[in-house]
Structure 1
């Protein structure tokens, strides 16, 4: 999202190309490292579908590294602007989809946990304790 806003700022002439490249290129290594760690954690956790989605993004990032499109060049930024915006929008959409899937799975696991007899008893005790603590004020 930060990259999309920065590219839009450049397009509207709110920042200069050198500031943009300094802003965006600073996070390239962190972005790649985070993606590798995310895929590794998902694989170790046995979340094959989610790991596959993120591995596809990692392959895309590695391809952009291989063809030297992982950084923004200040002298060529206006020519790269549509491509960079499209690239960042695809990445943002991917992360948004990933967030929705993770949130859905989280809520699903909470509901399944509460559907068991043991889970309902635990939730009942938790809500009773919470209600009792409210009256203490």
Structure 2
């Protein structure tokens, strides 16, 4: 359970990073479209985050494959295939001389990736919360089991203590009864006249 929780925590932060990278690229392309930035700066900023995005997304996809999370692997596999194809064709970087011609296509590709990353993010958040709740419930169950074992272990001790206390009380009761009987007998022989029959000697 701890490894499962760690997996979802890592996936949560990686998915947030991927969302941030894609949104950053879309902002750069939008600024270029509205002439808020020159083509060189826009392409340089986008190209600087391309390789980190590929590495993070590929690592996450491989991690889901190794941990047998098939649904998330199927979500991330198409993007990984797209990234590998771009890298093999040497088209993963934006050419500053063709950025205006490819502007709409680049924005469209990144919008599709944004949709995939959003789906991944929501699934990861759901699994993270579910795993955390299950971990807390397991901890509570373990605590209850330990408390039950402690109670079971204390039962013989409590029973023995109870029996010993009762025996002491019975012993003290017999002691007081014997003491009272002895006191009454002593009082009787001290203060009651001697009632032994007299022996008459015959003449």
Is the pair's TM-score, using the shorter chain for normalization, greater than 0.5?
yes
TM-score, with normalisation over the residues of structure 2? 0.54
Report the alpha carbon displacement of residue 116 of structure 1 after superposing the two structures with TM.
5.4
Q: Distance in 2 between matches of 1:14 and 1:64?
A: 28
| Paired position in structure 2 for 1:84 | 106
Q: Distance in 2 between matches of 1:40 and 1:7?
A: 30
Matches within 5 A, 1:1-137: 1-115=23-137, 118-119=140-141
After TM superposition, the runs of 4+ consecutive aligned structure 1 residues lying more than 4 A away are 114-117, 119-122
| Structure 1 residues 36-91: Cα deviation after superposition (integer angstroms, max 9, x where no partner) | 21112222222121122111210111223344431111111111000000011111
Distance 1:14 1:120, change over 3 A: farther
TM-score, with normalisation over the residues of structure 1? 0.78
Native 8 Å contact 1:9 1:15 kept in 2:
yes
Quick check: which has more Rg, 1 or 2? 2
CA RMSD of aligned residues (A): 2.1
- For structure 1, the 5+ residue unaligned runs are 123-137
- For structure 2, the 5+ residue unaligned runs are 1-22, 145-203
Q: Distance in 1 between matches of 2:62 and 2:30?
A: 33
Distance 1:119 1:73, change over 3 A: farther
Native 8 Å contact 1:28 1:71 kept in 2:
yes
